[in-house]
Chain A
């Protein structure tokens, strides 16, 4: 890890979800919401940048038993693409969430007239799909991605062993 990433990582604070038991390291001062239907956690910046508050969300969903990571990502992207205006996938690469293999994707779409960048990490743990999504105004990506990536990759999904 570079010195810059170390310094950023030191600013983060551990959050543990009260019901689901997963943990994630977040920048201080984010507005946290745990009662959005279908979304375990929404963590939003308090300030608009380019008309948008960058945010990070965590979604946990039950999968058909035996669903593999690549199949989960394929299905998730196939569903997501048509639901997002002007969606364009830019990258898809191996990653990790804690000890779990993950897939990171980066794409662009338009919401409410704003061009947004959406970076996501997906993992499959104990027949559950985990998605961490980081969204920011597209042109702010170079300035927001480092801390959002550190947060996203700090997610430790709850497992049967840990629950």
Chain B
């Protein structure tokens, strides 16, 4: 590992590092063990076996969260954590490293919107709901293959063709928390984002339905992924 692979900004606490280095940091934080040294020390992220205070905040949030987030966008995945003192995100960057950063929880919606490139899309209210098996959905998205919809369902097949022709991304956000009795402890949102519009991927028994939707509804659902205070057992 070269020093340049690890970059740390003491002003923001933002760390750029290979995935395995971040995993080592998180493992040490979980075990309350000394932080790994070497290149991390050279970058200023670790001093005398302890994380820099700004990095320490991110590690505390990530290892003692109230809510965990898992994000998938195509082949890329990211993680997030929400705690009483703020939130943290661990996201991939184009050169293969990971970026670990903290943010105010009130900025989390904006961060999730940016990570998933949510923005205005056309809305065609005549678009039909498309029902597929999960395997057919994966095949359709991977191979841009509309044959997963029977020719007899012309409207659905045409809509799927438009969706796939302009497909930007398939993305998913899941939240998990330790639930009291009145909470499922998890929520998720999966979206197909296309130049032709947005579709929600909604599980329906053994199949999934693709529901045409709007950026406003996706934003509302995205914010709604976080549990209420009562679902976390706070302020009972």
Contacts and interface: CB of A to CB of B under 8 A. Distances in A.
Interface of A: 50-51, 86, 88-93, 106, 108, 110, 113-115, 117, 137-142, 145
A138 B106 contact: yes
State the main secondary structure of chain B at its contact with A. helix
A70 to B, nearest CB: 13
Given A115-B108, A139-B108, A139-B109, A93 B223 contact: no
5 contacts: A90-B118, A106-B219, A108-B113, A139-B106, A142-B223
Contact of A138 (B120, B214, B215, B223): B223
A104 to B, nearest CB: 8
Nearest to A119: B216
B133 to A, nearest CB: 30
A141 B107 contact: no
A137 B110 CA distance: 11
Contacts, number: 69
B104 interface: yes
A22 B210 CA distance: 42
**Top 3 closest A-B pairs, CB basis?**
A138-B109, A91-B215, A115-B106
B100 to A, nearest CB: 20
Given A137-B106, A141-B109, A90 B220 contact: no
Contacts of A93: 123, 214, 216
Given A93-B216, A142-B220, A50 B114 contact: no
The winner among A92, A139, A141 for most chain B CB atoms within 10 A is A139
Contacts of B105: 139
A139 B216 contact: no
Contacts of A106: 215-216, 219
A145 B108 CA distance: 18
A91 B120 contact: yes
Interface string B203-236: 0000000000011100111011010000000000
Interface string B113-125: 1100011100100
